[in-house]
């Protein structure tokens, strides 16, 4: 707990540095609030009415609590609360309203539109400090509970999706292994050639092994247990290497692979992981691009970052379907009726790998316009000659 004196001489009682937004049309009230609520490491931001407060919150909603008057010009506290609760970023932000009205209807209405607690004027600032402290404690406990519930729900969903997909993806190779093994057993006839059956067994076993290895790899990246060794990498080389790996598959599918990358762009990332992420994106693009289409790999510099892009000429996705496809073990089509094989891990794994390397995955798509993915990674620092530092050394 933070113990000491505010500028006004009262004890400050916040348990940790706290960011507070004070909304009141009375400038003297705002000044008094700052004097009483100021504390080491904290930040007190003020707004003269609901409109100004909403603009502040829309730019940066990372406040711990809002202290808001109800009666204000332009936009009052009720309207501000309603707007805040419509924004997902502010739905759970605790708001303590201040009112000089003594009727219960104002308080009831404030709670209806989303108030967390209230205080009446004239304000007892010492008691208000403790009230804000307990409101914050309750909000943090609720946040922990929501996060735990969300993790539980996500674990249940992943479990159900994983079981369904493994059932679907392992059935075919297992049936092939069993079937070819039975044929091999029956091929003891000297006129039969067992090599054809062995080829089928090996192909099916390799397919099953690849499926399981991808699941294990995703589990490691999701848990953050995979080692990450950052190094300075040439963006163009990363893309060219991936094109080399995928060239035969692209040619067989009648798809053109293009690379457009500035050789002077370097990123700081784990080479193995980034190559894996690019492989997932390119494999996804090839799977959804029709014969005669193109898959384009690009590298662009973006203010201290480098964007590695993969764009295809596929059918594209609407926003809802795209959001579903970024979730692990989910795809655009139902697992039991879809036409394409796969675990639905490509986009989810690429996103997690980007995050492990201090970057982000951005996706853009629309029906009929294909899918464009960008892994944005930190750019490697250059020396005075414009070369990566290890190259200069």
Query: Which has more confidence, 155 or 383?
Result: 155
Compute the average pLDDT of residues 39-64. 92
Compute the average pLDDT of residues 212-231. 77
Asked if the model's pLDDT at residue 47 lies above 80, the reply is yes
Residues in the chain: 393
- Overall number of domains in the chain: 3
Asked if the model's pLDDT at residue 387 lies above 70, the reply is no
Looking at residue 388, the DSSP 8-state letter turns out to be B
- The answer as to whether 143 is a domain residue is no
Instruction: Give the structural domain span for 192.
Output: 152-223
Compute the average pLDDT of residues 146-175. 71
- The answer as to whether 128 is a domain residue is no
Q: pLDDT confidence of 330, banded at 50, 70, 90?
A: low
Please check whether residues 245 and 376 belong to one and the same domain: yes
The predicted pLDDT at position 6 comes to 52
Compute the average pLDDT of residues 33-49. 90
The predicted pLDDT at position 178 comes to 75
Asked if the model's pLDDT at residue 164 lies above 80, the reply is no
Compute the average pLDDT of residues 153-166. 66
Asked if the model's pLDDT at residue 79 lies above 90, the reply is yes
Phi, psi angles (nearest 5°) of residue 42: -85, 175
> Among candidates 235, 242, 279, 275, which has minimal Cα distance to 258?
242
Of 147-151, 221-225, 277-281, the one with minimum mean pLDDT is 221-225
- The answer as to whether 8 is a domain residue is no
**In this predicted model, what pLDDT tens digit does every residue of 341-372 receive, in sequence order?**
444 677 888 888 999 999 999 999 989 889 99
The predicted pLDDT at position 223 comes to 67
Which pairing describes strands 43-47 and 19-23: parallel, antiparallel, or unpaired? parallel
Q: Burial-class residue 381 by CB neighbours within 10 Å (0-12, 13-18, 19+).
A: exposed
For residues 238 and 245, give the distance between their C-alpha atoms in angstroms, rounded to a whole number: 11
- The answer as to whether 345 is a domain residue is yes
- The answer as to whether 7 is a domain residue is no
Please check whether residues 57 and 87 belong to one and the same domain: yes
The predicted pLDDT at position 344 comes to 62
Of 216-220, 280-284, 306-310, the one with minimum mean pLDDT is 216-220
Among residues 167, 202, 223, the one where a domain terminates is 223
Q: What is the mean pLDDT of the chain?
A: 81
- The answer as to whether 70 is a domain residue is yes
Answer whether 0.85 is exceeded by the pTM.
no
- The answer as to whether 213 is a domain residue is yes
Asked if the model's pLDDT at residue 337 lies above 50, the reply is no
Asked if the model's pLDDT at residue 384 lies above 50, the reply is no
Q: pLDDT confidence of 7, banded at 50, 70, 90?
A: low
Please check whether residues 179 and 236 belong to one and the same domain: no
Asked if the model's pLDDT at residue 14 lies above 60, the reply is yes
Of 22-36, 160-174, 286-300, 321-335, the one with minimum mean pLDDT is 321-335
The predicted pLDDT at position 144 comes to 85
User: Tell me, what CATH number does 200's domain have?
Assistant: 1.10.287.130
Looking at residue 5, the DSSP 8-state letter turns out to be B
Of 204-208, 262-266, 335-339, the one with minimum mean pLDDT is 335-339
Range of 113-127, 145-159, 177-191, 327-341 with top mean pLDDT: 113-127
Phi, psi angles (nearest 5°) of residue 312: -125, 170
Asked if the model's pLDDT at residue 317 lies above 90, the reply is no
Please check whether residues 48 and 105 belong to one and the same domain: yes
299 close to 366: Cβ distance less than 8 angstroms: no
The predicted pLDDT at position 342 comes to 46
Please check whether residues 332 and 382 belong to one and the same domain: yes
Please check whether residues 269 and 380 belong to one and the same domain: yes
Please check whether residues 209 and 309 belong to one and the same domain: no
Please check whether residues 211 and 244 belong to one and the same domain: no
Compute the average pLDDT of residues 182-194. 69
Among residues 123, 139, 165, the one where a domain terminates is 123
For residues 111 and 69, give the distance between their C-alpha atoms in angstroms, rounded to a whole number: 14
For residues 292 and 274, give the distance between their C-alpha atoms in angstroms, rounded to a whole number: 28
Please check whether residues 286 and 216 belong to one and the same domain: no
Among residues 169, 190, 223, the one where a domain terminates is 223
Query: Which has more confidence, 224 or 260?
Result: 260
Please check whether residues 347 and 201 belong to one and the same domain: no
- The answer as to whether 96 is a domain residue is yes
User: Tell me, what CATH number does 47's domain have?
Assistant: 3.40.50.2300
Asked if the model's pLDDT at residue 76 lies above 60, the reply is yes
User: Tell me, what CATH number does 273's domain have?
Assistant: 3.30.565.10
Please check whether residues 208 and 249 belong to one and the same domain: no
For residues 119 and 78, give the distance between their C-alpha atoms in angstroms, rounded to a whole number: 15
Please check whether residues 240 and 320 belong to one and the same domain: yes
Range of 29-43, 103-117, 121-135, 342-356 with top mean pLDDT: 29-43
**In this predicted model, what pLDDT tens digit does every residue of 273-305 receive, in sequence order?**
999 999 989 998 998 899 999 999 999 997 889
């Amino acid at each position: 707990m933070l113990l000491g004196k505010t500028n006004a001489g009262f004890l400050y009682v916040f348990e940790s540095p706290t960011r507070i937004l004070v909304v009141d049309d009375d400038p003297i009230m705002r000044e008094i609030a700052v004097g009483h609520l100021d504390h080491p490491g904290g930040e007190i931001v003020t707004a003269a009415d609901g409109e100004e407060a909403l603009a502040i919150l829309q730019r940066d909603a990372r406040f711990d609590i809002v202290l808001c008057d109800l009666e204000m010009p332009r936009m009052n506290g009720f309207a501000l609360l309603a707007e805040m609760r419509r924004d997902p970023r502010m739905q759970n932000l605790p708001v303590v309203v201040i009112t000089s009205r003594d009727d219960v209807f104002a308080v009831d209405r404030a709670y209806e539109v989303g108030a967390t607690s209230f205080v009446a004027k004239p304000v007892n600032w010492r008691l208000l400090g403790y009230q804000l402290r307990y409101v914050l404690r309750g909000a943090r406990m609720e946040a922990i509970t929501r996060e735990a519930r969300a993790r539980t729900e996500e674990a249940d969903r992943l479990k159900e999706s994983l079981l369904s997909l493994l059932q679907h993806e392992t059935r075919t190779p297992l049936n092939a292994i069993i079937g070819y093994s039975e044929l091999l057993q029956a091929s003891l006839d000297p006129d039969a050639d067992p090599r054809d059956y062995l080829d089928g067994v090996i192909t099916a076993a390799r397919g099953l092994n690849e499926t399981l290895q991808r699941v294990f790899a995703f589990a490691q990246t999701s848990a953050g247990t995979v080692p990450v060794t950052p190094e300075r990498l040439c963006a163009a080389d990363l893309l060219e290497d991936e094109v080399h790996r995928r060239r035969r598959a692209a040619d067989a599918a009648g798809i053109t692979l293009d690379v457009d990358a500035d050789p002077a762009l370097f990123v700081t990332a784990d080479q193995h992981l980034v190559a894996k992420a690019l492989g997932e994106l390119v494999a996804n693009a090839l799977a959804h691009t029709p014969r005669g289409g193109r898959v384009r790999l690009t590298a662009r510099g973006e203010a201290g970052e480098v964007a590695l892009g993969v764009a295809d000429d596929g059918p594209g996705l609407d926003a809802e379907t795209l959001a579903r496809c970024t979730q692990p073990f989910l795809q655009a089509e139902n697992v039991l009726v879809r036409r394409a094989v796969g675990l639905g891990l490509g986009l989810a794994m690429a996103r997690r790998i980007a995050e492990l390397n201090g970057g982000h995955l951005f996706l853009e798509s629309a029906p009929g316009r294909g899918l464009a993915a960008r892994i944005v990674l930190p750019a490697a620092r250059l020396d005075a000659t414009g070369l990566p530092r290890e190259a200069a050394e």
